[in-house]
């Protein structure tokens, strides 16, 4: 069997002798334009369990010989391959597929060969049609099929009336695809990888809960028991993942006060991202929240409500984290002997010190962080939202994710990286399951269509899974600050219907939009102080969120976000799109005024004639609108900014 590495034959020979010897061994079969693959197999593509994995490639060789080919696949590390047939589609383009049935890494490659019997059969059929003598050709066919005819008959196949007719029959030809002799067997190398995740890697709704702000007593931290008390409400809104910012002890050195001030009072809790104190580090629980047993009870309570817990993995420390004393070589100290704190000028984080991945002790750092992840996995956590991964080495993340998923293929990693596009994509390529996006700052129709077309139609669709957060503890978008409750309705409808993964940060359902002047920061942010919320305060949009999540779960079209289709609409303030032309969404982007627009329904693709009476069943309001024709005039208001509907004919 030859090994085919794309373009290896194009390298110039070092000498005439070496060139002839080397090129004479080059496979005659060319395997090109494999899809899907990332950079000739350097990175894996991503799918979920149950997907039918479809592969395409170009296969050809010199001459007129007939090729055969298989799509080979196996679980990573398995000793043998399973073969699925490749079928000629058109013009030397071949395709094949198989179903992904288990979590973990799967390898796949292409094997092609010259099918000697099929080539003989094609040649002799042409000669017979031309009235030429085929007696000698039949003898050559008998030799190619030696032993196969008896096996054919033993399998219960009826023999033809005479041997030539058997050799040339369609049924025998199909049999010989597997049993016939092969030449020039060539396999594409190296094999490519697929990361096969669970369905929640592609479809999920997250609720970010700040644990210490779930209580009812002003000026005091909530307990995990208070968090449990809120789970029924969160479940009723339809969320399936409860995401917690860091729950570890908070440092006391340079602790921040309200609104990120440098002066913390004796009762100020500090930022949970300043991890570590005398009470412990990344494997400990903030004593104000409770104990490890209390956390376990919270995890169990989430499971009882069919939700799971996502934890923040923030690879940073407070100056009084135990690691600073135990492993000073893991950190950077300045010329005056002080430890270097984190900064991103003009921002300064005096309460946080970064781990030095350039340290000579880098291997020990890698293993320590792996052990932290493994610790929380043992405590029932299977989802990690990773804080600022773009500021740590990509080789570290690639190693960590692959190492963890080798033993726990159900673990999901979300990359919280708002940075340059290629770096965000690089994190997804090396293994992050999901990725934050620029969605937070995309508000106009044109830019939304361009961005989501790129993510659903271009190369990123095979590895970059966008997770749309409407807001975060660090980001209160200007659109929400200025647009009031209508803006909150618009953004949550957009996030929930345009992608498979979305989330809100607690307070969004209350339309909380108080910001610091000229900033995207929340005023009196709970990042730096205790907060007590009235979770039922007037003006909340909890019913809308619950309806959106119910619609998402009830309609399978939302589960595969790559089926997004943008549809014609004559207004720049109204978006019209569908999910696989099964559910249609018309959404106003204007939180201040009513908008009218003409939308065009794709009736031909639905098998509906232009003159037929149709019903638009609005999934939000429950109302049915009777119409005729593909062009429909609609009106959307700030209080009711969307129609989410199905189309059917009226009998």
Q: 167-201 b/e with 16+ CB inside 10 Å = b?
A: bbbeebbebbeeebbeebebbbbebbbbbbbbebb
Burial zone of 25 (CB within 10 Å; 0-12 exposed, 13-18 middle, 19+ buried): exposed
Q: What is the DSSP string of 124-186?
A: HHHHHHTT---HHHHHHHHHHTTTHHHHHHHTTPPPPSSHHHHHH-HHHHHHHHHHS-EEEEE
Cα separation of 130 and 169, whole Å?
18
Return the CATH architecture of domain 2-195. Answer: Sandwich (2.60)
Does the pTM surpass 0.85? The reply is yes
Task: Tell me if 202-314+363-559 shares its fold with 567-649.
Answer: no
Three-state DSSP state, 79: coil
For 23-64, write each residue's pLDDT tens digit.
667 789 999 999 999 999 999 999 999 999 999 999 999 999
Based on the residue annotation, tell me whether 509 is a catalytic residue of this protein. Answer: no
Question: Which of the residues 416, 509, 512, 590 is marked catalytic?
Answer: 416
Three-state DSSP state, 52: strand
**CA–CA distance from 283 to each of 323, 327, 406, 458, 501 (Å)?**
12, 16, 22, 40, 28
Instruction: Find residue 196's DSSP bridge partners.
Output: 47, 104
Question: Which of the residues 37, 193, 200, 387 is marked catalytic?
Answer: 387
Please provide residue 204's backbone torsions phi and psi, each rounded to the nearest 5 degrees.
-165, 155
What pLDDT does residue 345 have? 84
Q: 567-649 has which fold?
A: Immunoglobulin-like (2.60.40)
Q: H/E element holding 263?
A: none
Q: Which residues of the chain have pLDDT under 70?
A: 4, 6-24, 156-162
Cis, peptide link before residue 264, omega less than 30° from 0? no
What pLDDT does residue 344 have? 82
Q: 202-314+363-559 has which fold?
A: TIM Barrel (3.20.20)
Cα separation of 305 and 239, whole Å?
10
Based on the residue annotation, tell me whether 598 is a catalytic residue of this protein. Answer: no
Cα separation of 243 and 163, whole Å?
71
- Delimit the domains of the chain by residue range: 2-195, 202-314+363-559, 567-649
Three-state DSSP state, 395: helix
Cα separation of 442 and 479, whole Å?
10
For 197-256, write each residue's pLDDT tens digit.
999 999 999 999 999 999 999 999 999 999 999 999 999 999 999 999 999 999 999 999
């Amino acid at each position: 069997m030859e090994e085919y590495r794309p373009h290896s034959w194009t390298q110039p020979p070092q000498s005439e002798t070496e060139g002839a010897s080397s090129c004479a061994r080059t496979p005659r079969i060319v395997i090109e334009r494999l899809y899907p693959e990332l950079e000739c197999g350097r990175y894996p593509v991503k799918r979920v369990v149950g997907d039918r994995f479809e592969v395409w490639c170009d296969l050809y060789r010199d001459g007129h010989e007939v090729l055969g080919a298989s799509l080979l696949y196996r679980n990573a590390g398995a000793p043998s391959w399973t073969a699925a047939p490749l079928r000629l589609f058109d013009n030397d383009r071949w395709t094949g597929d198989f179903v992904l049935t288990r979590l973990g890494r799967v390898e796949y490659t292409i094997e092609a060969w010259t099918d000697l019997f099929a080539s003989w059969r094609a040649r002799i059929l042409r000669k017979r049609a031309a009235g030429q003598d085929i007696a000698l050709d039949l003898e050559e066919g008998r030799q190619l099929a030696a032993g196969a005819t008896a096996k054919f008959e033993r399998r219960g196949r009826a023999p033809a009336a005479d041997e030539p007719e058997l050799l040339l029959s369609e049924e025998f030809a199909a049999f010989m695809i597997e049993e016939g002799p092969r030449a020039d067997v060539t396999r594409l190398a190296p094999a490519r990888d697929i990361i096969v995740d669970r369905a929640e890697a592609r479809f999920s709704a997250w609720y970010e809960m700040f644990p210490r702000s779930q209580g009812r007593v002003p000026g005091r931290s909530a307990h995990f028991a208070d968090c449990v008390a809120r789970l029924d409400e969160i479940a009723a809104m339809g969320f399936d993942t409860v995401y917690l910012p860091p729950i570890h002890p908070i440092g006391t050195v340079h602790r921040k006060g309200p609104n990120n001030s440098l002066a913390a009072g004796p009762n100020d809790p500090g930022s949970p991202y300043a991890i570590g104190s005398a009470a412990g580090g990344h494997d400990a629980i903030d004593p104000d929240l409770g104990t490890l047993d209390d956390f376990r009870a919270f995890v169990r309570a989430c499971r009882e409500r069919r939700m799971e817990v996502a934890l923040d993995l923030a690879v940073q420390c407070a100056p009084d984290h135990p690691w600073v004393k135990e492993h000073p070589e893991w950190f950077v100290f300045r010329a005056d002997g002080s430890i270097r704190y984190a900064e991103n000028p003009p921002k300064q984080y005096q309460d946080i010190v970064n781990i030095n991945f350039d340290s000579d002790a880098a291997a020990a750092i890698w293993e320590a962080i792996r052990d932290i992840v493994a610790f929380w996995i043992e405590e029932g956590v299977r989802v990690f939202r990773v804080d600022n991964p773009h500021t740590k080495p990509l080789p570290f993340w690639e190693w960590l994710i692959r190492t963890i998923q080798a033993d726990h293929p159900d673990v999901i990693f979300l990359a919280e990286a708002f940075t340059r596009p290629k770096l965000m994509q690089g994190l997804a390529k090396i293994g992050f399951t999901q990725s934050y996006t620029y969605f937070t700052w995309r508000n106009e129709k044109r830019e939304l269509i361009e961005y989501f077309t790129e993510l659903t139609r271009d190369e990123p669709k095979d590895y970059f899974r966008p997770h749309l957060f409407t807001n975060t503890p660090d980001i209160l978008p200007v659109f929400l600050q200025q647009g009031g409750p209508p803006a909150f309705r618009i953004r949550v409808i957009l996030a929930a219907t345009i992608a498979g993964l979305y989330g809100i940060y607690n307070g969004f359902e209350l339309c909380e939009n108080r910001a610091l002047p000229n900033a995207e920061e929340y005023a009196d942010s709970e990042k730096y102080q205790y907060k007590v919320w009235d979770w039922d305060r007037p003006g909340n949009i909890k019913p809308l969120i619950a309806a959106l999540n119910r619609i998402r779960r009830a309609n399978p079209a939302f589960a595969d976000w790559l089926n997004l289709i943008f549809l014609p609409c004559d207004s720049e303030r109204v978006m019209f799109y569908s999910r696989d032309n099964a559910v249609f969404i018309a959404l106003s982007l204007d939180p201040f005024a009513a908008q009218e627009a003409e939308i065009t329904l794709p009736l031909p693709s639905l098998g509906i004639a232009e003159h037929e009476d149709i019903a638009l069943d609005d999934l939000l309001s429950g109302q049915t609108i009777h119409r005729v024709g593909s062009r429909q005039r609609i009106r959307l208001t700030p209080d009711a900014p969307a129609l989410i509907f199905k189309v059917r004919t009226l009998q």
